[in-house]
């Protein structure tokens, strides 16, 4: 009759909130990356190689977030699930590193970076748009690391519980 009995559901796994937070984090990643793509396109960067690579980075971020949702939502902890999990972790780490690098580059050398992008907008408008994109890159950088941590915990919970709710770690102990 305590407070915990009122809010706990015995049919729901204890890591259900972690899974919801992970999905919410990936949805925010999707929104921030697509917003960054539209901000980048508003700079009119299509003929620039750096602009193309900047847009490609955000497309890879979107792909990684979608792949992460699909990988963690799949309940298999054996075989192909491990390969998908490993690929998600590697792609998320690389994407986070590149997003952090772009964020630092935008805020430390805004004028030089805008010059390399060959933008056709006025410089003061371009600086403002680029700083908005840099703020989104900072958000994406933080969310990528949060999503990585949550994915690790979800994989750990799946390993500990094993199949059918049995504790896998107890069954593997040697006496």
DSSP conformation letters of 92-104: HHHHHHHHHHHHH
pLDDT at 46: 65
132 located within any domain: yes
13 located within any domain: no
Cα separation, 30 vs 132, whole angstroms = 16
Judged on CB neighbours under 10 Å (0-12, 13-18, 19+), 71 is buried
Range of the domain at 51: 18-159
173 located within any domain: no
Torsion of CA 41, 44, 49, 55, to 10 degrees: 0
Q: Model confidence at 2, in pLDDT bands (50, 70, 90)?
A: very low
The overall pTM is greater than 0.95:
no
- Structural domains in the chain (count): 1
Highest-confidence range of 65-79, 120-134, 159-173, by mean pLDDT? Answer: 120-134
Residues 32-53: tens digit of each pLDDT: 999 998 988 888 766 678 888 8
6 located within any domain: no
138 located within any domain: yes
């Amino acid at each position: 009759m305590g407070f915990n009995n009122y809010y706990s559901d015995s049919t729901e796994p204890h890591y259900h909130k972690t899974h919801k937070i992970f999905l919410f984090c990936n949805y925010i990643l999707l929104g921030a990356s697509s917003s960054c793509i539209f901000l980048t396109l508003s700079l009119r960067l299509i003929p620039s190689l750096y602009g193309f690579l900047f847009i490609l980075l955000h497309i890879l971020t979107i792909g990684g977030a979608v792949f992460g949702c699909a990988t963690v939502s799949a309940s298999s902890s054996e075989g192909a699930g491990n390969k998908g999990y490993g690929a998600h972790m590697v792609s998320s780490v690389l994407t986070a590193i590149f997003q952090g690098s772009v964020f630092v580059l935008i805020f430390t050398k805004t004028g030089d970076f805008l010059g390399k992008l060959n933008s056709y907008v006025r410089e003061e408008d371009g600086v403002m748009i680029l700083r908005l994109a840099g703020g989104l890159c900072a958000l994406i950088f933080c969310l990528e690391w949060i999503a990585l941590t949550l994915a690790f915990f979800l994989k750990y919970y799946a390993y500990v519980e094993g199949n059918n709710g049995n504790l896998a770690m107890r069954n593997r102990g040697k006496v």
